């Protein structure tokens, strides 16, 4: 049965790609891949899954270093852009992943790509991702930092695109629901316009404990890209992002 239409169906097409493609530089993606490598302790024989891999910017950096890198995403155009990443690419949905339980040593989801639905569905997406790990395998989930957003609940931004277009966005974070609503417009150089709203859910460290308990996940660390090298620090309220690392219980 077809699923009801959801904001992500419209948001993750040309609107998202055109607005971020030149911001997500190879240098930034390489840095983030280094954080993934370090925190997941990736090794040359590991079977690794990039959940919602988009245009393959992390898969490209990591696939030469591991035994197998599989990238899954729902958008066929993004997957086409990932085709020279060295990853095995699979078109699939986070809500019904087409892999056998226990198939991977490590799973990651970067850039607020796992929690797009209501809390029950988000918990199911996390549980499904954890079930793909072998016992003892590691998962890393990256999203914006709700502690930082709580201190600055509204933000506006605008930037020019190399194509001559412009992006404008307004974000409003609601600490009651833990959801950030980001309204974004791309005004292209030819005057045509794309627009959409994303409603992303960011979980606090305390909420992560509850999420993990529900799906056989042992949280190893809640950190940020700023603090990846400092294992004893608690998540900084001002850090730009939150990274949860956990291990599937045996």
Ligand X SMILES: C[S@@+](CC[C@H](N)C(=O)[O-])C[C@H]1O[C@@H](n2cnc3c(N)ncnc32)[C@H](O)[C@@H]1O
Residues that bind ligand X (CB under 6 A): 8, 12, 24, 52-54, 57, 73-75, 78, 93-95, 110-113, 116
> Least distance in Å: CB of 178 to ligand X?
17
**Of 9 and 233, CB closest to ligand X:** 9
> Least distance in Å: CB of 125 to ligand X?
8
| Residue 120 CB partners (closer than 8 Å, separation 6+) | none
> Least distance in Å: CB of 48 to ligand X?
13
**Closest chain position to ligand X (CB):** 54
> Least distance in Å: CB of 32 to ligand X?
8
**Of 133 and 200, CB closest to ligand X:** 200
Locate 96 and state its tokens.
């019904």
> Least distance in Å: CB of 96 to ligand X?
9
Q: Angle CA(180)–CA(206)–CA(219) in degrees, nearest 5?
A: 110
Locate 104 and state its tokens.
């991977």
Instruction: Select from 187, 214, 188, 192 the least CA-distant residue to 203.
Output: 214
**Of 11 and 208, CB closest to ligand X:** 11
Instruction: Select from 129, 112, 139 the least CA-distant residue to 41.
Output: 139
> Least distance in Å: CB of 9 to ligand X?
8
**Of 112 and 171, CB closest to ligand X:** 112
Alpha helices in the chain (DSSP H): 7-11, 14-20, 26-40, 57-62, 76-81, 119-131, 146-151, 205-213
> Least distance in Å: CB of 106 to ligand X?
15
**Of 78 and 104, CB closest to ligand X:** 78
**Of 90 and 220, CB closest to ligand X:** 90
Q: Buried b / exposed e across 55-88, counting CB within 10 Å, b at 16+?
A: bbbbbbbbbeebeebbbbbebeebbeebeebbbe
| Helices 119-131 and 205-213, packing angle to 10 deg | 60
Report d(CA 207, CA 52) in Å as an integer.
Answer: 22
**Of 94 and 149, CB closest to ligand X:** 94
3-state helix, strand, coil in the chain (%, to 5): 30, 35, 35
């Amino acid at each position: 049965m077809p699923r009801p239409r959801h904001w992500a169906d419209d948001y993750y097409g040309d609107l998202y790609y055109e607005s971020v493609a030149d911001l997500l530089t190879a240098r930034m993606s390489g840095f983030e891949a280094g954080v993934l490598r370090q925190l997941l302790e990736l090794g040359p024989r590991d079977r690794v899954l990039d959940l919602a891999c988009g245009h393959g910017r992390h898969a490209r950096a990591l696939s030469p270093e591991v035994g197998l890198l599989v990238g899954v995403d729902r958008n066929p155009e993004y997957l086409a852009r990932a085709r020279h990443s060295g990853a095995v690419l699979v078109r699939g949905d986070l809500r019904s992943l087409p892999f056998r339980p226990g198939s991977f040593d490590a799973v990651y989801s970067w850039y607020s790509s796992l929690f797009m639905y209501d809390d029950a569905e988000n918990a199911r997406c996390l549980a499904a991702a954890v079930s793909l790990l072998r016992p003892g395998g590691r998962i890393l989930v990256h999203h914006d930092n709700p502690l930082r957003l709580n201190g600055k609940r509204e933000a506006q931004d605008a930037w020019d695109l190399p194509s001559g277009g412009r992006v404008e966005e307004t974000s409003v974070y609601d600490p009651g629901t833990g959801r950030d609503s980001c309204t974004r417009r791309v005004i292209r150089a030819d005057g045509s316009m794309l627009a959409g709203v994303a409603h992303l859910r960011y979980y606090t460290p305390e909420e992560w404990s509850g999420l993990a308990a529900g799906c056989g996940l042992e949280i190893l660390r809640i950190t940020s890209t700023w603090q990846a090298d400092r294992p004893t620090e608690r998540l900084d309220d001002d850090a730009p992002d939150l990274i949860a690392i956990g291990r599937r219980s045996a």
